[in-house]
Structure formats: C-alpha cells, structure tokens
Amino acid sequence: MSLWSLAWKSLWNRRLSVGLTVFAIAVSVSLLLAVERVRVESKASFAQTINGVDLIIGPRGGSSQLLLYSVFRLGEATGNFSWSSFELLRSSPKVAWAIPISLGDSHRGYRVLATDNSYFQHYHYGDNQALAFTAGNTNGFNSLFDVVLGSEVARKLGYTTGNRIVLSHGIAENSLTDHADKPFQVTGILKPTGTPVDRTVHITLAGMEALHVDWQNGAPAISRLVGSSENIPADSAQQINLTPTSITAAMVGLKSRLAVFQMQRGINTYSKEPLMAILPGVALAELWQSFALMEKILLLVSACVAIASLLGLMAVMLTSLNERRRELAVLRAVGARPRHVFGLLLLESGLVGIAGVLTGLLLFHVALLGLKPWLASEFGLFLPLRWPGQSELLILLAVIIAAFFTGLLPALRAYRNLLSDGLAPR
C-alpha cells in the first residue's frame, strides 16, 4: 500500500478530529485572504477614484487631508480660498479646465458637493471613464435649485427625478439646522461608479450661495420663518448675485503635463493668499504610507490566527501518537522502515494543510459572494470574484509549506520510537 493511500485511510479513521483541524485552518486561511483582498482592492479602488486630474488645489495644509475631503468626502475642510484666485487660475494659458468645489452641507448623512457643469464634463474615474446618467437631465444643472444624486444616494433614499429634497447645514447625519425654505429638485441621477461620487449630492455653486444668502456671521438669521423680514425666500434669492466669494477646492487639468511641477510651484508660492497644489497620485501614495502600520497589524493578526490553527494541528498529531504507537509499530513490523513512518506523518500533516487551504479558499469565495452587495452598498468596497492573485497564492503556498513543517516534530518522535516500545505491553 502506498504512503498516499495509507495517509488518507489514517486521516479518514480520525475524521472528526482531523475535520475540526481542517476547519480551523480553513477559517484562518479565509481570514488571511480577506485581509489581503481588501488591502489590494482598497488600493485599487482609491487609485481609480479619480483619473485625468493633474492638480488638486486648496488652502494650505496637509496634502492627505486635502485629498481626503476633496476626492473621498472624508473629514472636514481646513478652509476656503477666494473665488478671484480660482478665476485667475482658470484663466491661465496652461490650464485646460478647472472644476470648482464647495463643501460643507449634507443630506441625511450624505455629503453635498457644490460645483458647476464642468464637473460632469471633465471628472473621470477608473480607466478614464466619464460620469454618465441613468435618469433625468444628462447635461448636469439647468437651474439654481437643481440637484444631481449619486447612485447610492438615490437607491438608498428611494429618490427619483422630480423629488424635492431639503439639505442640512453641516455634515452631521442628524443636523439641527435645515434649509427648509430652499428645497432642491432632483433633476438627474448618475450611474454607479464604485467611487465616492455614488455617495454624493451634487448642487450648483449658486445654489450653495443661495442656501446661506440670509445667514449672518456663519449662522442663520434670528428668525428663519418663511415670509419674515429676515428670511430671503427661494424666489427672491434667484434675483440676487450668487457668485461665490470662496470655494473649498479645485481640480485642474493642464494642457501639457510637462507644466505640472511649474504650475504646482507657482500655486504654492502664490503671494495673495496661502494656497497648496497637490498631485493626486503622490498624495495617495503618502496616504497609503500612513496606513502601512495598520496593514501590517491586520496581516500580523491574521498570521497569528493561521499559526494558532497550525499549532492546533501539531497538538492533534502529537496527542494521537500515544494512541497510534501500536499502529505505527505494526507498520514497522510488516516492513515499514523508520523513514516510511516519518514520511507518513509528514504527509498526513501536509494533506491536512492542503485540505484546510482548499476549504478556506472555498469558504472565502462563498462568504465574498454573500457579502459582496453589502460591502458595496455600505462601504463602497467592490471585491471581485476572481482567481487568487500572486500575493494570495503566495499566502496559500506558505500555509501549505508551514503545515508540512508542522508535522516535523510528531514525525521525529515517531521516528525515534523503537519497535519493541510499540509492541511491548504497557
């Protein structure tokens, strides 16, 4: 009988304990794969959030912070810069296009982004894909109180074109100050992009100004009752000059990328106000460096779980040696040499490791298939069902090799057992 057949029959004879060990290894393998897949796909998702933007401009501060609030709608803006500076920038002969961005309001927990139609014309994501509409006006904004919703906002809140919505001041999910006197009408819904655009409420820059036209010193008027002398209703707001005095950030595309560093240096040394220009790719690399420690911690925790399951395999094999002393001695009595016994236990350990890896791979993909819609809707994280990548295959191979090495100690102990020790009555 071959060692492979003998190892399989021996494992099947102890299928309950072996099955539990295989399951423990499978859970640890699926956890390792999940951490690695999330790490890789998160980087890819972040990198594909914005495409074709040469510079992002905002008030002077941290580059990662500017990237987070202008592109990923995370955190709070450090401040604004003047509209006149933006117009001067946009009129530069080196600039092909510029997208103004104003932040600060929200709607039921979703961020509001004020911009103009250049946003829908020039914002690209993924593999240079342009924004597209599933419903409504495909040109963007036509009037002051138009609002274009990201796909997730429309789906989760059940909005369709024609609905009227009320925005809230600030970014808190339960804001105490609503702009109830100036409702917006949904005129367009964007197609899913897998980016923060899906979770964004888009309005016009003039609409953002109209919301706060009757505010004083950053606070609403004392009386916010519709029709009061201090309140400026929506109809009257349209008669006022609503050119913004400041914006939060701007995305810029240049006519030639050779001018990127020259343009960046000019903006960073701008004398009229403190501005900062960042390269999205460089800022994203810096952002991931700040997360490097967290990545290592997650991988370390997952590796510890895998090591614990492999130690459990070693413990099961060592415990079973006392029960198998007579079995192994009989094998040696019928002609098996010590190296055969050594190889048998090593092979059993490796087979358990292989079974655990294959089960873990299956468990991971079944869990991914079930959780994929939830991860996409709750976290905007799209984890594709695909064959394991190079890093994941290396993890699986490392677990299998470690499983073989785990069997070394039990195999050595069995190797050293004497034939007489196994056959003599205890």
Tens-place pLDDT, residues 129-143:
899 999 988 888 999
Instruction: Tell me which of 330 and 80 has the higher pLDDT.
Output: 80
pLDDT on residue 150: 94
Between 11 and 381, name the one with better pLDDT: 11
Is the pLDDT at 82 greater than 90? The verdict is yes
Confidence of residue 263 (pLDDT cuts 50, 70, 90): very high
Q: Coil, helix or strand for 47? A: helix
Nearest to 38 by CA among 391, 398, 401: 391
Q: Amino acid letter at 353?
A: G
Give how far Cα 285 sits from Cα of 44, 103, 296, 344, Å: 12, 24, 16, 49
Inter-residue contact 182 to 237 (CB < 8 Å): yes
Among 60-64, 71-75, 152-156, 224-228, the range scoring the smallest mean pLDDT is 224-228
What mean pLDDT is predicted for residues 287-312? 79
Q: Is the pTM higher than 0.85?
A: no
Q: Mean pLDDT, to the nearest integer, of 394-401?
A: 88
Lowest mean pLDDT among 104-108, 293-297, 356-360: 293-297
Angle in degrees, 0-180, between the axes of helices 390-406 and 338-379, rounded to the nearest 10: 150
Pairing status of strand 200-204 against strand 110-115: parallel
Cross-strand partners of 396: none
**Both tokens assigned to 196:** 């923060």
Alpha-carbon distance of 200 to 150, in angstroms, equals 5
d(CA 173, CA 175): 6
State both tokens at 12.
């099947």
**Residues 71-81, mean pLDDT to the nearest whole number:** 86
The enclosing H or E element of 261 equals helix 260-268
**Most confidently predicted of 12-26, 55-69, 215-229:** 55-69
The alpha carbon of residue 127 and the mean position of all alpha carbons in its chain are separated, in whole angstroms, by: 18
- Look at residue 221 in the predicted model and tell me its pLDDT: 57
- Give the pLDDT confidence score for residue 376 in this predicted structure: 66
The answer to whether 29 and 392 have CB atoms below 8 angstroms apart is: no
CA distance 86 to 72: 21
pLDDT band at 224 (very low <50, low <70, confident <90, very high): very low
Task: Check pLDDT > 90 for residue 153.
Answer: yes
Residues 6+ apart with CB under 8 A from 288: 43, 46
Average confidence (pLDDT) over 380-393: 79
Which pLDDT belongs to residue 182? Answer: 87
Write phi, then psi, for 98 (nearest 5 degrees).
Answer: -145, 135
- In angstroms, the first-to-last Cα distance of the chain is 29
If one counts every other C-beta atom within 10 angstroms of the C-beta of residue 245, the result is 9
The number of CA neighbours under 13 Å toward the Cβ of 168 is 14
Please tell me the predicted confidence (pLDDT) of residue 244.
92
Q: Are strands 124-125 and 129-130 parallel, antiparallel or unpaired?
A: antiparallel
Spatial separation of the C-alpha atoms in residues 183 and 166, rounded to whole Å:
5
- The share of the chain scoring above pLDDT 90, in percent, equals 33
CA 366 to chain centre: 20
**Whole-angstrom distance, CA of residue 76 vs CA of residue 29:** 38
Which residue, chain included where needed, has tokens 């020790």? 421
Cβ contacts of residue 180 below 8 Å, gap of 6+? Answer: 166
Model pLDDT, residue 1? 54
DSSP line for 310-360: HHHHHHHHHHHHHHTHHHHHHHHHTT--HHHHHHHHHHHHHHHHHHHHHHH
Among 38-52, 87-101, 277-291, the range scoring the smallest mean pLDDT is: 38-52
β-partners of residue 55 are 252
What is the spatial distance between Cα 332 and Cα 303, in angstroms, rounded to a whole number?
Answer: 38
DSSP letter (8 states) at residue 51: B
**318, 411, 302, 400: which is closest to 353 by C-alpha?**
400
Determine the pLDDT at residue 188. 95
